[in-house]
Structure 1
Amino acid sequence: MNACWLGSLEDRGDRRALIDGEISLSYKQVAQQARDLARSFMQSGITPGQVVIVHGNYSINSILALLALAAIKAIVAPVTNLTPSIEETLKVACDASFLVTALDDMTVVPLAGQSRHPLYRSLQQSGIAGLILLSSGSTGKPKAILHNLDNLIAEKDKQSRGRQLVVILFLMFDHIGGVNTLVNVLFSGNCAVVVRERTPERVCRELERHKVQVLPANPTFLNLIRLGDFHQRHDLSALRLITYGTEAMPLQLLVHLREIFPRVRLLQTFGTSETGIAGTQSTSSQSTRFKIVDDSFEYRIVEGELQLKSPGQFLGYLNVENTSLTADGWFRTGDLAESAGNGEIQILGRINDVINVGGEKVLPLEIEALLLSCPQVLDCVAYGVNNAITGQVVGVNIKPAYPISSDGLRRAVMDFLAGKLERYKMPVKIRKVDEIAVSERSKKKRNIEL
């Protein structure tokens, strides 16, 4: 076991590192417990280069398991929700050798896999820790994405500067945003607050309790805080920075967020599971435009699609053909974007979410941004509805701002949108709903009707 970064954690001594409920660990304790756990894992038969599933969510156990396995130079596959489909992918396609359950108790179960996938060879021969991330699997079986975990840690391992920040761990444990946040917080000497229940109520309670200064989240979750008035039920005055990503931000939602968090800086982040998270900069908290200021990232926009290239790019997919890279090595993000001048980028939405109305392209984000400023609309989601003549038409689900009949809501919405949208963009189907459906990753569900 040779992980010099454990030493850099230990050097930070009694500085707070992790808070999980009533338990608080210093950096020295984190390093020592990770070492002890690594020895225990090796006694259980885990060796460098083996694929190990870590089933857990944000908790001290899960974080220590990830650090310990990285120290062993294993290939770690963190999983929050171990569904049959995900379990099959990890056991069969990824050839996993062990399953570590890191919930309230820590258990190690040997599996039949021998970790022999050809993509593992470079990591195993060089004694490098690996990381497997799974896509959400919304279009079928999840893709298994292989990364160099040592590179990710090395990029974040830096000396502490200034006052320690308290950051809440909200983005998912098995998502690139969550892993990036965890590694960035620990290896920059800040303090991570664990949230086990990913609800607006619980998150805001922990923000108040620990005087959290940094909240990494996504637009849909921030909107849930707004809709439930959780920012008023809890004292969030310690917040200084909210970073948001994983989906495009409607401009009107950003306006609402500026109103309820007037003293908080809002910063859009950007990255993918395949390329990692880039450093970004916004002109202001009122802008949905951003610049990629990370020198290690390159970007270009080709036929409206944002493409990225980074040194921390994934090593490949373990279970599907790699068609996401161009012939010259650029990753196709699947995000529609436009250059906004001065090196700024504007994300318009996902290519797969575009509604095709008789050959005309409609962006759901444009419809939603308008509707969020309608007095009768509290929240909404736009999506495509199959149509025999035009292929698709625009549909919207709307959570009304106050009691109103379905017919009344439709009339109000159509009157509000009149003159603001081209005819083909106007909603044909308007459905009043009690709640807007959200996935377990806190994103709006758009595949409502195809």
Structure 2
Amino acid sequence: MKQTFLVHNDIVYTYENLLDDLNNKEIYSTYIYVQDNNPYEIFLSIIHSLLYDYPIEILDGDFSEKEIDELGLNVGNVLMTSKITESSHFLHFDEVMQQIQAIEKWHLTLYTSGTTGRPKKVSHTFHSFTRNVKKHNKLENDVWAFAYNPTHMAGLQVFFQALLNQNTLIYIFGESLKNVPTLIKKYQVTNISATPTFYRNVLPYLQDDIYSIIKRVTFGGEKFDAALVVKLNSIFPNAKITNVYASTEAGSLFAARGDEFEIKAEYQQLIKTSAENELCIHYSLLGASLHEQQKNEWFHTGDLVEMVDQNHFKFLSRQSDMINVGGYKVNPFEVEDLLIQVPGVNDILVKSKKNSVTGELIVADVVKDSKIDGKELKIAIKKFAVAHLQEWKVPRIIKFVDELPCTRTGKKVRK
């Protein structure tokens, strides 16, 4: 049986298909701009660039011409192609893997989300993308549910983890949530990596069954959710659940079984916090293109953390997400962590609204269980909030929504 590389929209691409397409690919571009974000075309282009050791720049397929222009790029240049002058022919995919390991000049450039201004270009080498990839014979039969945007850091790291072990990817990013259980069972998925928001959205469709074959569940991109982990443990009883801290600038650096991230011994001198408790990372751990942009040795991440001890920290909030209510600082994640415990609350987003008296006030957008009465739930949320939160942290406005808007990376939109 031919080994599957990727399943997308019921189309199965084998490693043999991938090998044939790599051998036949004569035209290439130094930009990956696949307008329908077709993951196979994206992955094929990345592997091709690795084989021929040329740098690439990756863009979201739904970028408009205006967005491309705002990145400082010319659409004509983005769409420009070239022809391979000296192509190679590979008989087996193992030869492809050997060639990839020998690259020297390759780097991939992607963009930060731009939440604090114009997106920054970040270039990563093969080493910085794969420094935390685990490669072992015991991983060769892993099947990954791919639940991230393939043009962003988290998705690319899952891609490299799967590729270097010649695993199978089942593409569920953007898939109808009700179809996810069927795909997990049909393709015997063993590993899932996604944002907490994705897990919360898909949970209602998973709760009628136990998925004992799942051995690893990874989440990142958003704050740790202890209540979510309890639910995931009940559905995936044999899974090791890992919380990952990663960024476009630095890639994946820290992991945790709960909410305490461990700083590995080799990073001890390369991680610190500022006087304002902002996590700072030494420039040597950043993508190659950021080395030259740094004005000093330390990159300020914008993440506020609590140091548990010299080897462990907890993520508190994005500095830009903090809400100022009458001079009091409110961490929206703290409010969410509490109110998600109210029975009937499936998901919640806490944000701010401008107010002439307090400057800002707290708003909670709630996705409720369809079986729960809205009026009763609103009363329950208010009562629970008043009993457990300081007065200025209590949401003044509670709105019920069908779903929470997400960014291209699958994270909640807080503003």
TM-score, normalised relative to structure 1: 0.76
Q: CA deviation at 1:167?
A: 1.3
Q: CA deviation at 1:178?
A: 0.7
Q: Is 1:288 aligned to 2:262, yes or no? A: no
- Partner amino acid, structure 2, of 1:291: E
Q: CA deviation at 1:209?
A: 1.3
Alignment correspondent of 1:23: 12
User: Which SS does the other structure have where 2:413 is aligned?
Assistant: coil
Q: CA deviation at 1:219?
A: 0.5
Alignment correspondent of 2:271: 299
Which ranges in structure 1 are unaligned for 5 or more consecutive residues? 1-12, 101-107, 111-125
1:432 to 386, 395, 400: 400
Query: 1:267-282 alignment to 2 at 5 Å?
Result: 267-282=242-257
Which ranges in structure 2 are unaligned for 5 or more consecutive residues? 84-102
- Paired with 2:377 and 2:3, the residues of 1 have a C-alpha distance of 55
Alignment correspondent of 2:233: 258
Alignment correspondent of 2:127: 151
Aligned-residue identity in percent: 22
Q: Is 1:415 aligned to 2:383, yes or no? A: yes
Distance change (3 Å), C-alpha of 1:55 and 1:312: farther
- Partner amino acid, structure 1, of 2:137: R
Q: CA deviation at 1:60?
A: 2.4
Residue by residue over 1:125-163, the C-alpha shift from the partner in whole angstroms, topping out at 9 and shown as x without a partner, is x97122121233445543332333x33466478864225
Residue by residue over 1:259-310, the C-alpha shift from the partner in whole angstroms, topping out at 9 and shown as x without a partner, is 333332210011110111125242xxxx222214383683222222112236
- Partner amino acid, structure 2, of 1:327: N
- Paired with 1:275 and 1:423, the residues of 2 have a C-alpha distance of 38
Q: CA deviation at 1:217?
A: 0.4
Q: CA deviation at 1:238?
A: 1.6
User: Which SS does the other structure have where 1:162 is aligned?
Assistant: helix
Query: 1:5-404 alignment to 2 at 5 Å?
Result: 16-20=4-8, 21-26=10-15, 30-31=18-19, 33-37=21-25, 40-41=26-27, 50-51=30-31, 53-57=33-37, 59-78=39-58, 79-89=60-70, 92-93=72-73, 97-99=77-79, 128-138=105-115, 141-148=118-125, 150-152=126-128, 155=131, 160-164=136-140, 165-195=142-172, 197-226=174-203, 229-232=204-207, 236-282=211-257, 287-293=258-264, 295=266, 298-302=270-274, 303-309=276-282, 311=284, 313-316=286-289, 322=293, 325=294, 327-328=296-297, 330-341=298-309, 343-401=311-369, 402-404=371-373
Give yes or no for contact 1:280–1:293 (8 Å, CA) kept in 2. no
- Paired with 1:36 and 1:156, the residues of 2 have a C-alpha distance of 32
Instruction: Give the paired residue count.
Output: 390
TM-score, normalised relative to structure 2: 0.82
User: Which SS does the other structure have where 1:418 is aligned?
Assistant: helix
Distance change (3 Å), C-alpha of 1:234 and 1:205: farther
User: Which SS does the other structure have where 1:207 is aligned?
Assistant: helix
Q: CA deviation at 1:218?
A: 0.7
Q: CA deviation at 1:171?
A: 1.2
Distance change (3 Å), C-alpha of 1:431 and 1:194: closer
- Paired with 1:222 and 1:74, the residues of 2 have a C-alpha distance of 36
- Partner amino acid, structure 2, of 1:188: N
User: Which SS does the other structure have where 2:27 is aligned?
Assistant: helix
Give yes or no for contact 1:167–1:214 (8 Å, CA) kept in 2. yes
- Partner amino acid, structure 1, of 2:224: M
User: Which SS does the other structure have where 1:290 is aligned?
Assistant: strand
Q: CA deviation at 1:346?
A: 1.0
User: Which SS does the other structure have where 2:315 is aligned?
Assistant: strand
- Paired with 2:181 and 2:389, the residues of 1 have a C-alpha distance of 37
User: Which SS does the other structure have where 1:266 is aligned?
Assistant: strand
- Paired with 1:430 and 1:157, the residues of 2 have a C-alpha distance of 42
Give yes or no for contact 2:152–2:409 (8 Å, CA) kept in 1. no
Give yes or no for contact 1:145–1:314 (8 Å, CA) kept in 2. yes
Q: CA deviation at 1:225?
A: 1.2
- Paired with 1:14 and 1:209, the residues of 2 have a C-alpha distance of 16
Give yes or no for contact 2:5–2:167 (8 Å, CA) kept in 1. yes
- Paired with 1:85 and 1:233, the residues of 2 have a C-alpha distance of 45
RMSD: 3.3
Q: CA deviation at 1:15?
A: 5.7
Give yes or no for contact 2:213–2:238 (8 Å, CA) kept in 1. no
Give yes or no for contact 2:217–2:242 (8 Å, CA) kept in 1. yes
Give yes or no for contact 1:365–1:382 (8 Å, CA) kept in 2. yes
Distance change (3 Å), C-alpha of 1:197 and 1:419: closer
Residue by residue over 1:330-358, the C-alpha shift from the partner in whole angstroms, topping out at 9 and shown as x without a partner, is 22221111112372221112111111112
- Paired with 1:145 and 1:155, the residues of 2 have a C-alpha distance of 17
User: Which SS does the other structure have where 1:316 is aligned?
Assistant: helix
- Paired with 2:5 and 2:385, the residues of 1 have a C-alpha distance of 50
Give yes or no for contact 1:383–1:395 (8 Å, CA) kept in 2. yes
